[in-house]
Copies of this chain bind each other. A is one copy, B any other.
Amino acid sequence: MNLATSFPVSQRSKVRRLPKRGSRERADVYAILDSNILCHIAYVIEGQPFVTPTGYWREGDRLYWHGSSASRMLRSQSAGLPVCLTVTHFDGLVLARSGFHHSINYRSVMAFGRASRIDDPTEKQTAVEAYVERIYPGRNAELRAVDAQELKATTVMGMTIEEASAKVRTGPPVDDEPDYGLPVWAGVIPIRQVLGRPVPDPRLAPGTPWPGHLAPYAEGEGLDTVLSATAKAAS
């Protein structure tokens, strides 16, 4: 473990179960965070836990998400509540020779910190544009600017990652040694998030082409591969 390249650990973020599957290296954490844009954020209101699926993006050790200014989630988080932001890729079904050893392959990150609302309008505008640019590098140049009314209706949250850990399972099932001789099909059924054929808006202005900046979003591509590439292109 390299102190300079890894996130700190505490009881909160320690990978307890199967620690060999865990990592706190920034490179591992970033790789998982940068190949998705949908996370699940947990927060507590009056003792009740909530978990909400939310779009997010990363800049260095900062995570951002946004939503409507009327959102209960964002209003409650504005008070600087502790949150846990988890990103998960579901990579496969693992079929073993006994019910007990069935599993799933996945890549996930749990990141801990305190959310804070970004109030400065310029910073907010930069953030909203950064999110579009992170997914679709080059797209902002073709869009009209976000206006003051839209900025007002948008709440942007930011969180510095205080602790984070990645956890990954890959590969075949791990069965009990005597079970390997059983005539039971065992192995992995891979799962991938794949892009379909783009569906143009029925009200698309006549003659509007599929633009060059969307070339990475080709039908059949893996979402994680595309998002990793666009994250690199945008940074």
Contacts and interface: CB of A to CB of B under 8 A. Distances in A.
Interface of A: 12, 16-17, 37-38, 40-44, 47-53, 55, 67-68, 70-72, 82-86, 88, 90, 92-93, 95, 97-100, 102, 104, 106, 108, 110, 112, 128-129, 131-132, 135-136, 139-140, 142-144, 146-147, 150, 153-154, 172-173, 179-205, 207-211, 214, 217, 223
Contacts of A70: 16-17
Contacts of A150: 98, 100
Contacts of A97: 143-144
13 contacts: A41-B51, A42-B50, A48-B112, A51-B51, A90-B193, A98-B143, A98-B150, A172-B203, A186-B201, A187-B200, A189-B198, A192-B193, A194-B194
B144 A128 contact: no
Main secondary structure of the interface of A (DSSP, over half): mixed
Contacts of A98: 143-144, 146, 150
